[in-house]
């Protein structure tokens, strides 16, 4: 590792932070250290970094805006890659929206609305990055990424830069081809439609008001913890089981929305995992349904 550290320090691959605590980079405010956190600013830096890691058989994990993930208390071995400010930009051309992989999906939806473009209103409450949204085919309010996705530039685990059109992405419910083919989205293009700015703004405002009333937006959470089972809602099942407010350590099932787990201040990853297990066991016994996590659990256990 020392030899690799020396090589990387001499390579133009962006900022490097060794033994970096990750809790401050996640919306749950939970997570141990990464062996090294890299923050490339260009696709060339990213490709070079991944090529070096690949050549030395060093595993790597991508960290977006830190939502929808639980990082273990022991942290992540190998490298963690977080796209820098160079990937945080957007441009609009006609009815197309183009954005870098690290850009806030919420911010992109707001900018699109100001341009009078409709189709991204559903993204107003999804706290991840554009790249993360593409990776998991993020969705809300009856829509998702697959409905507006046109193409993306992706750096694969070999360091190769490829271009994927919509038909290459294998989109499904909270799924894309990137679940099986490791890569990082550096740029995505979305096909939108021209609309009325006032109507777009009103729709986004109504979604925002609904989130404010139903979700614990002021607490440290990772969004919805479990996928909705076919024909039902995870939150309804959890609430009906009387689990709202149930707590293990510093982790608590939100009293406002039963499919959210809040870090009340000192929660560990093990607290959250234990609470998730409690929910799954209760719903399986009570309803015969296996709740599938929507959050990704990462790191050394």
CATH of the domain at 134: 3.30.465.10
Q: Which residues lie closer than 8 Å to 158 by C-beta, 6 or more apart?
A: 50, 51, 54
Residue from 224, 252, 254, 262 carrying the catalytic annotation? 224
- Note down the domain range covering 256: 216-298
Query: Could you read off the pLDDT of 29-39 as tens digits, one per residue?
Result: 999 999 999 99
Spatial contact of 287 and 237, defined as CB atoms under 8 Å apart: yes
Q: Count structural domains, the chain.
A: 3
Mean pLDDT score, 64-73: 94
The CA distance from 188 to 112, in Å, is 14
Mean pLDDT for the chain?
A: 95
- pLDDT for 1 beyond 70: no
Query: Could you read off the pLDDT of 233-277 as tens digits, one per residue?
Result: 999 999 999 999 999 999 999 999 999 999 999 999 999 999 999
185 and 112 both lie in a single domain:
yes
Residue from 174, 187, 252, 254 carrying the catalytic annotation? 174
Asked if 146 is an active-site residue, the reply is no
Asked if 174 is an active-site residue, the reply is yes
pLDDT band for position 52 (cuts 50, 70, 90): very high
Residue from 157, 170, 239, 294 carrying the catalytic annotation? 294
- pLDDT for 280 beyond 80: yes
127 and 109 both lie in a single domain:
yes
Joined together, the tokens standing for residue 136 give 């998991």
Asked if 294 is an active-site residue, the reply is yes
Query: Is position 209 within any domain?
Result: no
78 and 93 both lie in a single domain:
no
**Locus of tokens 């016994």:** 285
Q: Which residues of 191-201 are buried (b: 16+ CB within 10 A; e: fewer)?
A: bbeebeeeebe
103 and 79 both lie in a single domain:
no
Predicted TM-score (pTM) of the model is 0.91
């Amino acid at each position: 590792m020392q030899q690799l550290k020396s090589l990387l320090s001499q390579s133009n691959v962006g900022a490097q932070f060794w033994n970096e605590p990750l809790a401050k980079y996640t919306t749950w405010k939970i997570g141990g250290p990464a062996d090294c956190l890299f923050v490339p600013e260009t696709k060339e830096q990213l490709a070079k970094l991944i090529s070096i890691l690949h050549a030395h058989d060093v595993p790597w994990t991508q960290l977006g805006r830190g939502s929808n993930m639980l990082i273990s208390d022991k942290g992540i071995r190998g490298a963690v890659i977080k796209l820098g400010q160079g990937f945080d930009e957007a441009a609009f051309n006609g009815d197309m929206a183009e954005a870098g992989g690290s850009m806030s999906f919420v911010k992109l939806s707001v900018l699109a609305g100001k341009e009078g473009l409709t189709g991204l209103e559903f993204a107003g409450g999804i706290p991840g990055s554009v790249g993360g949204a593409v990776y998991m085919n993020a969705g809300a309010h009856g829509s998702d990424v697959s409905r507006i996705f046109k193409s993306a530039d992706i750096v694969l685990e070999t360091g190769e830069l490829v271009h994927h059109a919509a038909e290459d992405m294998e989109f499904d419910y909270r799924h894309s081809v990137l679940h099986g083919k490791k890569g990082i989205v550096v740029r995505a293009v979305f096909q939108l439609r021209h609309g009325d700015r006032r109507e777009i703004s009103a729709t986004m405002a109504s979604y925002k008001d609904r989130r404010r009333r139903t979700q614990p937006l002021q607490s440290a959470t990772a969004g919805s913890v479990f996928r909705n089972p076919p024909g039902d809602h995870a939150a309804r099942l959890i609430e009906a089981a009387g689990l709202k407010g149930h707590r293990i350590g510093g982790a608590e099932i939100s009293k406002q929305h039963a499919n959210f787990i809040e870090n009340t201040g000192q929660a560990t990853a093990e607290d959250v995992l234990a609470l998730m297990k409690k929910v799954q066991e209760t719903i399986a016994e009570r309803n015969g349904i296996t709740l599938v996590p929507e959050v990704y659990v990462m790191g050394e256990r």
